[in-house]
Chain A
Amino acid sequence: MGLLSSSVSITRYKVEGRLPEPIIETVAAGLKKNTLIDVDDETVESAIGWTSVDTPFKPNFEGSSFVVGPHFFFSMRMDKKNISSKIVKKMCTQQMAKKLVESGREYLSREEKKQIKDAVIHALTLRVPATPNVYDLIWKYEDAELWFFSHQKAANEALEILFSKSFKLTLIRLFPFTAAMLTAGLSEAELDSLSFLTPTSFTE
């Protein structure tokens, strides 16, 4: 479990908006609706969805299993099938050679080559298992705050989209400007000053 690792990276978000009551049931519904669906035996190349923090390869959002103390704990899983372009090239070459022998021709048309490549990728997509990446998160609902245990750009962007789709709430990443603007408790006058800041030179 990533969040119990000896070393973690955390991206902090502010959650904008509130869920309709009953909260736990609303969260469970959003999680179930967007639970990760295994694509190992499918022709799909990738999948993104929610999974359980303690059983990431067997998602279960029944009851309140994702509620621990005052917080919600769950994970985002991104599965991707990595198909080597070298394997695609090798299999395409073999299939094209076979087709040339069978047809007795010297060349294949561009359309025939494309059909062979599509068929090879289709077959490989069915055979190659997806590589899973699991990213834990803690949603501190009462504090309108969420911690995501990754700094990876692609994972953070996927989280923002999936979260919005699942719960109809917006995640705002907290970096210096947004943290100052939204969570530092600044007055109106201070917020105005913040917008007009320009870099300081520490050398004379």
Chain B
Amino acid sequence: MLDVAVAYNRYKFIGFEFLTWLWFTIENDQAYLKKLQEDLASLDLGNRVVLENRQSEAMETVTIKGDDAGLEEGRLALKKGAVVTEMNLLFKFGDQKWQFSLKGESLGVANLKTPDAGPVESRDDLEGAMLEKTYLYDKAMNFVYLIFYDFIKHRISKDWHHQIVPQIRKWIAV
């Protein structure tokens, strides 16, 4: 395998394309996401999206944030050739909610908020809370990677350029 630092930089575009594809999928194919994870109630964009346009000489960054922020500027940036580099996501399993930011280049999960774990009053409670939190983090991490693994199979298949990219282009152009 390539040197890790070299691979990180050479292939960071995979993560940006993953997030761009994910935005497209959230808006256009929730049924597909629910097929991946049966107990998923919903997956939505949260309160922050960061896009970068590396096509021009000087890199342009567009950040959209706020609970009620419109995404028009983000769509406009996509039209100009930008890709998504960071995205806040909100998903629900049943009536429980998870929210976090996902960075494209690292797949790093930041500001992860899970449903509450039980209160800690004794050593036994502490161990219980640690296991409960691990389960709750697992739910988020497994879901992120489940979607990513599915994406990467599409990304290296012929479908990517023949079917998926044309659909994304059409969505961006609207």
B58 interface residue (CB < 8 Å to A): no
CB nearest to A11 among chain B residues = B108
Min CB distance, A109 to chain B, in Å?
45
Q: Does B7 contact A (CB under 8 A)?
A: yes
Assembly CA distance A199 to B104 (angstroms): 14
**What is the 8 Å Cβ interface bit string for chain A, positions 185-204, against chain B (1 contact, 0 not)?**
11000100110010111111
Q: Can you name 28 A-B pairs with beta carbons within 8 Å?
A: A8-B111, A9-B108, A9-B109, A9-B111, A10-B112, A68-B127, A68-B130, A69-B131, A147-B137, A151-B110, A173-B106, A175-B12, A175-B105, A176-B104, A176-B105, A178-B4, A178-B7, A179-B107, A179-B145, A183-B145, A184-B148, A184-B152, A186-B156, A193-B156, A199-B17, A202-B83, A202-B165, A202-B168
* Distance from A126 Cβ to chain B, minimum over Cβ atoms (Å): 36
Bound CA span A186–B104, Å? 20
Interface of B, secondary structure class, is: helix
**Count of chain B residues with a beta carbon within 8 Å of a chain A beta carbon:** 55
Is the Cβ of A197 less than 8 Å from the Cβ of B156?
yes
- In residues 1-60 of chain A, which contact B (Cβ within 8 Å)? 3-4, 6-12, 53-54
Report the Cα distance A11→B172, complex, angstroms: 31
Q: Could you tell me the distance between the alpha carbons of A201 and B127 in the complex, rounded to whole angstroms?
A: 48
**A138 lies within 8 A of chain B by Cβ:** yes
The listed residue (A7, A151, A173, A177) touching B11 by CB distance below 8 A is A177
A199 / chain B contacts, CB cutoff of 8 Å: 13, 17
Within 44-102 of B, Cβ neighbours of A (below 8 Å) are at 78-81, 83
A61 within 8 A of B: no
Cross-chain contact B137 with A8 (CB below 8 angstroms): yes
Residues of A near B103 (CB, < 8 A) are 151
Are the CB atoms of A175 and B15 closer together than 8 Å? yes
With A7-B113, A8-B137, A197-B14 in contact, is A173–B4 under 8 Å at CB?
yes
Given the complex of chains A and B, what is the CA–CA distance between A181 and B10 in angstroms?
14
- Closest Cβ of chain A to B62, distance in Å, is 15
Known A10-B141, A190-B153, A197-B155; contact A203-B107, beta-carbon cutoff 8 A: no
Q: Which of A151-184 contact B (CB under 8 A)?
A: 151, 172-181, 183-184
* Cβ–Cβ contact A190 & B112, under 8 A: no
- Most chain B beta-carbon neighbours within 10 Å: one of A6, A11, A147, A200: A200
Rounded to whole angstroms, the CA-CA distance of A179 and B148 in the bound complex is 9
- The answer, among A10, A190, A200, for a CB contact under 8 Å with B109, is A10
Q: Does A127 contact B (CB under 8 A)?
A: no
Give the complex CA separation of A197 and B160 in angstroms. Answer: 11
Is B110 touching A9 in the complex (CB atoms < 8 A)?
yes
Partner of B149, one of A71, A172, A185: A185
